[in-house]
Chains A and B, each alone.
Chain A
């Protein structure tokens, strides 16, 4: 596939690795914020190929994983209401809330349907005018514009039975919260490629400016990740801290203005609760007043019940970069992708799932 295969060439990977080994003299700890990067790094065995000076750490960049149990319980309670079709991306289905998962309530008769896109959710709304169709709005800046577009399309077509449970989250504020906590010491950051395709590279500049940390926006193929690490090493060795884009074919410094405009039209920033991190100011999205009629939380009455956490699960610590999946007592013993206890084992880009699938051979 064009724009994929070229970025998997082993001869070019060897060149980048040789250069990283030659250049890296200072100890450095890089966080890859995005779960997509974690998967790429583990799947392609990049950790083992790096010099001992470089340590890679997974960050909280997995929307499924950072969704708090209290929010999952809302989605589950909504799905159980009569007259509702809850539409969701597939990876939310198995995530356990406080008492059950969407998959379990679906087995008990709730009308839960997996969709690939908000376009599919709109189609279900068009085809079922007597039902209320709720889309479970999970995702970062990459996904929020697609939900904003679906809202504007529903408005245009006067689709009256389409709603969104808006749990969208924004990445730069949570990185600030992580850095401010002082829990994790970092030397540099690999910034998320497809979040940046929307927001551009400018929103990361505070990290270089205020925290003195080198940042590189990377793509997701192995060469993209290695190029990102190579650029971070170059900044570390020269004592610089700036934001650079390795993923130039997909990311412009100013982002995607059309997408940003749609998001701004429909949503505004609000505080949001992140699993393991807590409430972070301005890190979520809520509907603007003129679009509130699409807000599932306001449109329906439901009781999500009290929130509780699974005993022994350390997903919160893993998301903050304080612990790694193999340090969890449940990992690969009680908690597996088949029977996940925490969300990081469910999502295909969850740190625990990636370690389970690709890490066993070397750890």
Chain B
């Protein structure tokens, strides 16, 4: 039930956003993430953005995983 999926904010009006999820457009409430901006990716759970995805952290995590894969290969 705690499923949440990444959604891209395309437009914002008051506390509501238009978001895109893999090509599908939906409306999402920003009551829980009032600081969200157009262009942010948010975690969407039952119609509400519950967090803004930290894109820097995402990049760092992937970089780390790539490094782990490279090191594991060498050993």
Contacts and interface: CB of A to CB of B under 8 A. Distances in A.
Contacts of B46: 89, 116-118, 143, 146
Interface string A245-265: 010111110001011001000
Contact of B1 (A18, A138, A262): A138
Given A22-B75, A249-B54, A258-B33, A34 B65 contact: no
Nearest to A249: B58
Nearest to A3: B6
Interface string A1-28: 1111010000110111011001000000
Interface stretch (A172-180, A191-199, A277-285, A300-308): A191-199
A360 B50 CA distance: 35
Contacts of A262: 31-32
Interface in B21-75: 21-22, 27, 29, 31-35, 41, 43, 45-48, 50-51, 53-55, 57-58, 60-62, 65-66, 68-73, 75
A280 to B, nearest CB: 18
Contacts, number: 157
A120 B46 CA distance: 10
Contacts of B58: 3, 6, 248-249
Interface in A119-162: 119-120, 138-140, 142-143, 145-146, 149, 152-153
A192 B46 CA distance: 17
Nearest to B75: A22
Interface residues of A, number: 59
B1 A248 contact: no
Contacts of A22: 72, 75
Given A117-B48, A149-B29, A223-B65, A140 B72 contact: no
A62 interface: yes
Contact of A12 (B3, B48, B57, B65): B65
B44 to A, nearest CB: 10
Interface residues of B, number: 41
A1 B6 contact: yes
A197 B3 contact: no
Nearest to B45: A142
Contacts of A16: 65, 68-69, 72
A248 B6 contact: no
Main SS class of interface, B: mixed
Nearest to B50: A197
Contacts of A153: 31
A4 B55 CA distance: 13
Given A258-B32, A262-B31, A194 B3 contact: yes
B11 interface: no
A351 interface: no
Contacts of B27: 119
Q: Which of B5, B48, B57 has the most CB of A within 10 A?
A: B48
Nearest to A223: B65
A248 B60 contact: yes
B65 A146 contact: no
Contacts of B51: 197-198, 250-252, 256
B50 A119 contact: no
A89 B1 contact: yes
Nearest to A219: B61
Please list the 3 inter-chain residue pairs (A to B) with the smallest Cβ-Cβ separation, ordered nearest first: A15-B69, A117-B47, A18-B72
Interface of B: 1-6, 8, 21-22, 27, 29, 31-35, 41, 43, 45-48, 50-51, 53-55, 57-58, 60-62, 65-66, 68-73, 75
21 contacts: A1-B5, A1-B21, A12-B66, A15-B73, A18-B73, A19-B68, A63-B2, A116-B46, A117-B47, A118-B47, A142-B4, A145-B50, A149-B29, A149-B32, A194-B4, A194-B43, A227-B61, A248-B58, A249-B53, A249-B61, A347-B1
